[in-house]
Structure 1
Amino acid sequence: MKKLLVIGMGKVGSLVGSLLQKRFEVTGVDKSAPAVALPFRIVVGDVTHTDFLDSLFAGQDAVVSCMPYNLNLPIAQAAYRSGIHYFDLTEDVGTTAAIREMAKDSKGVMAPQCGLAPGFIGIVGADLAKKFTRLRDIELRVGALPRYPNGLMGYSFTWSPAGVVNEYINDAEVIHNGTRKMVPSLEGIEMINIEGQEFEAFSTSGGLGTMCETFEGRVDTLNYKTIRYPGHCSLMRFMLYELILKEKRELIEQILTEAKPPVQQDVVYVYAVVEGWKDDHLEREEFYRAYHPVQIDGQHWRAISWTTAASIASVVEMVADGSLPDSGFIKQEDIRLNNFLNTSNGQFFKEV
């Protein structure tokens, strides 16, 4: 793997390209030229045009899509036609299912869901699960939050508003009482105390990726919940269901983006708990980290940006190194945490 495309030069995509250009020949693609200079070549064009996409992929070895969930599938289809590796950050279940079907006879890797959740949290959860003889529960939690919240919602959209709304509306897959099932998002609310600070966590769609399939028959409970400041879930339910804005996605995305712009000081909480038996002893393993903004090459990067970008860049590195398969579908829970952390971009997670 030498040449690769990074599509979408937004908050995350521009950093993905900057991280990967240190090793690969990167070409960035966006509908308009980035406002700031980037250390790799930029091609301007509309990736919703099939002919433009197909022409882009000629001579490339891989493509990394950093586009909103609803634009990923055509890019994946173009990668499949071209026989090159494909990576994305989607949390969308339907998009992932379609990509997985293509992966059955793909010439390259088809690796969606390479962000934080799904993505890194699944790698962490599966690593903890390996320590047990027999499993009982796997509970995974991630929150990307303003470090200094204000207002009733206690939130800012440092991540794609379209992706956030999508995961709030779609049902979430879980394993409950040993049975694999779907539950409504914005339900199952619980309180969490992290270092003296109270948070709430609730079900959202897509965070487990393919883990329910992988662990079905092996656990009594498997779930993923999003961490927010208290009161956030109730307000989102009010907007989506009492005001019926769930049927006007573009409108609510616009409202939320204008009301809660990104902050520079954010924090990403990653928390995983696994319970089960080691031989005959019931035990519990935990993983907790709080990730904050960092300086990369002299530039300030929000926690959500660098954790997401470093996650997908690490998976790209592992495919290039041969520590992951070079064709077919990659489940995040099949990625070994130590291998992930030992990539040049996985090192960012070790330094915390």
Structure 2
Amino acid sequence: MEKVLVVGLGNVGSLVATLLQRSGFEVSGADARPVEALSFPSEVFDISDSAALGNALEGCQGVVSCLPYNFNLSVAQAAFERGVHYFDLTEDVPTTKAIIEMATDAKSVLAPQCGLAPGYIGIVGGDLARQFDSVRSIELRVGALPRNPKGNFGYSVTWSAVGVINEYLNDCEVISSGKRALVPPLDALETIDINDVQLEAFTTSGGLGTMCDTWDEKVETLD
């Protein structure tokens, strides 16, 4: 049975680890604090402790980082050095570029941006676009909408607030009028109506992942 380490056992990390376990993987977890009521073994250590991280990776074939983006590079480096497959959920563009560059000499898979957006939304959008002979525009809209909205904004923070702030502060890469461009975050505000519920949509950093690389000079619009 292949063994996978999941680092960062918050709401998302605990779910990822549980789903991997249910899929037949041997799972272990790690976090900076004790996490109760898990169905798999876990340990507590500071992710900046390279020796502890290295020990946790012993015998693992894969590691999934569900940490805030600023911790991902050190986990990717540890996986790279040990030939362990690496996955993360980061939205951070500089971190992603550094891991992609690292991957050119890796003996294992180093795959950043495997979350909802970036990640799943790009897979769905790309697959749909490839079913057409030609594509003029790819416009992706995604949001983690709470089942029971609360508060003035009707918002639910289910993942790292650091990641949300990162998405809302940094420039966003798009394709506009056939050319790659950087636009401000929280820009291009639009209203979307779903089942008589009005929602706001706007640009956020990193959500397209590497789609601008894939669709450069192939579409007029990608956002």
TM-score using structure 1 length: 0.61
**Percent same amino acid at aligned positions?**
59
Structure 1 unmatched ranges of 5 or more: 224-352
1:262 corresponds to which residue? none
In the alignment, residue 2 of structure 2 is paired with which amino acid?
K
1:33 corresponds to which residue? 34
Q: Give the distance between the partners of 1:85 and 1:2, measured in 2 at CA.
A: 11
1:126 corresponds to which residue? 126
In the alignment, residue 162 of structure 1 is paired with which amino acid?
V
1:93 corresponds to which residue? 93
Range moving further from structure 2, 8-17 or 213-222 = 8-17
1:11 corresponds to which residue? 11
2:65 corresponds to which residue? 65
Q: Could you report, residue by residue, the CA deviation over 1:33-90 in whole angstroms, capped at 9, with x for unpaired residues?
A: 21x3211111211111112112222221110111111111100010001111000000
1:48 corresponds to which residue? 48
Q: Give the distance between the partners of 1:88 and 1:196, measured in 2 at CA.
A: 35
Q: Give the distance between the partners of 1:155 and 1:15, measured in 2 at CA.
A: 20
Q: Give the distance between the partners of 2:171 and 2:7, measured in 1 at CA.
A: 28
TM-score using structure 2 length: 0.95
Q: How does 1:157-306 map to 2 (within 5 A)?
A: 157-223=157-223
Q: Give the distance between the partners of 1:148 and 1:13, measured in 2 at CA.
A: 22
Q: Give the distance between the partners of 1:122 and 1:2, measured in 2 at CA.
A: 27
SS at match of 2:80: helix
SS at match of 1:181: strand
Which structure dedicates a bigger proportion of its chain to helix?
1
Q: Give the distance between the partners of 2:144 and 2:136, measured in 1 at CA.
A: 27
Q: Could you report, residue by residue, the CA deviation over 1:172-202 in whole angstroms, capped at 9, with x for unpaired residues?
A: 0000000001100011111112122221110
SS at match of 2:64: strand
Structure 2 unmatched ranges of 5 or more: none
> CA shift at 1:146, angstroms?
3.0
In the alignment, residue 8 of structure 2 is paired with which amino acid?
G
2:25 corresponds to which residue? 24
Which structure dedicates a bigger proportion of its chain to strand?
1
Q: Give the distance between the partners of 1:195 and 1:125, measured in 2 at CA.
A: 22
2:135 corresponds to which residue? 135
**Which of 1 and 2 has greater Rg?**
1
Computed over aligned residues only, the root mean square deviation of the Cα atoms, in angstroms, reads 1.3
Q: How many residues align?
A: 222
Q: Give the distance between the partners of 2:39 and 2:15, measured in 1 at CA.
A: 10
> CA shift at 1:98, angstroms?
0.4
Matched-pair contact (CA < 8 Å) for 2:170–2:185: yes
Q: Give the distance between the partners of 2:155 and 2:21, measured in 1 at CA.
A: 32
Q: Give the distance between the partners of 1:163 and 1:126, measured in 2 at CA.
A: 24
> CA shift at 1:150, angstroms?
4.3
SS at match of 2:125: helix
In the alignment, residue 26 of structure 2 is paired with which amino acid?
E
1:149 paired with 2:166, answer no
